[in-house]
Amino acid sequence: MTVFPDGFETLLAASVGREDAAVVLDALQGPPSVSLRLNPAKLTECPFPDAEPVPWSPYGYLLKERPVFTLDPLFHAGCYYVQDSSAMFVGHVFRQILPQTAPGAAVLDLCAAPGGKSTDLAASLRERFGDNFSLLCNEVMRGRFGTLCSNLDTWGDHRTGCVSMDPSAFGEEPLFDVIVADVPCSGEGMFRKDAQAVAEWSPETVEFCAARSRRILRDIWPTLKPGGFLIFSTCTFNAQENDENALWAASELGADILPPPSFPPVKTTRCGSVLLPGFVPGEGQWVATLRKHGVSDGVRPADVLNLFRARRPAAPDTEGTRVEVDRLTALRYLHGDAVVLPADAPLGPVILCFQEQSLGPGKNLGKRCNNLYPKAKRIKMDIR
């Protein structure tokens, strides 16, 4: 049974009301949910039986239980991303404002690691604009930056790029049509998944996170074009980090807060939408949309991916004949082992595939296939 930190229950009740808080507290005693989001460029049907659609995501699915994703070759092929269903609501809000953006849109995912929201944004942008967009994904923490880059490599959209910069380093030029800022927070939406989040929560942490969020928003604000959109989100429930900061940003930085979408059982707060455990199956999220005062001049800057020298996803391997392999061979390949390909596989460069999805390169010598899968991405666990 989870013992909640001093002050958490009081702040939760003050933020969402006593009745809703009681439902949340009861739900936080249960197990976390499991969900994933398909990569529509690679997969259109959920590979797990009995999965249920996430209502606010055309690509999202809730699973009955957690499989061992590491042992699914489709996971390594970037066919889906394991993401909390509540976090997918940010993608829903993003899709609501996309019709008000134009081809060539420049989007910044400011606090992007590990990459769940980035890949969701990329899928939505590609669906609407094809190749005609730029998505710059930033992560200031160097230890998390590598994870972001790896996940975007696996996802495989070449109109995304990664940088690691403090928000203050982006400068003063209005470059972005949309900024998504899923800011670091006190992590109340992580309580079911991470005991450390419970241990580290305190009223002082909430105050610190709220102040840090204001600093982040203030620093990045000049780079948002007049008339541009800021999608501001957290994985926490309290009004101090959420509504109060949205009101501060609107007043101090100059923006209108857009009405949150009506999507029961998602609840609305003064400024945004809040997904509460017990009312939705996920772990929780809060999100609001602000529109910067002013009108854009319509001028498109240079490609922001080039402007910031963003690290791009590795180009997919194209040299070699595609060779379909079974699940065990695929897992051995992903583990880094030498494998034996079907007898009719051609000699020389090959691309190993599982269910028609590319896994990576090899060199078939006949009696064995040399494994050219990147060492950094290889499966570490026992695959037997």
- Residues noted as catalytic: 235
**What does the H/E/C string look like for 226-280?**
EEEEEEEEECCCCCCCCHHHHHHHHHHHHEEECCCCCCCCCEECCCCEEECECCE
What is the C-alpha to C-alpha distance for residues 51 and 64, in angstroms, rounded to an integer? 7
The tokens describing 113, both together, are 């690691």
Please classify residue 23 by burial: count the beta carbons closer than 10 Å to its beta carbon, then call 0-12 exposed, 13-18 middle and 19+ buried. middle
- Using the CB atoms, write b or e for 153-176: b if 16+ within 10 Å: bbbbbebbbbbbeebeebeeebbb
Q: Which residues lie across from 360 on neighbouring strands?
A: 352
Find where tokens 């070699």 sit.
320
> CA nearest 12: which of 33, 26, 32, 1?
26
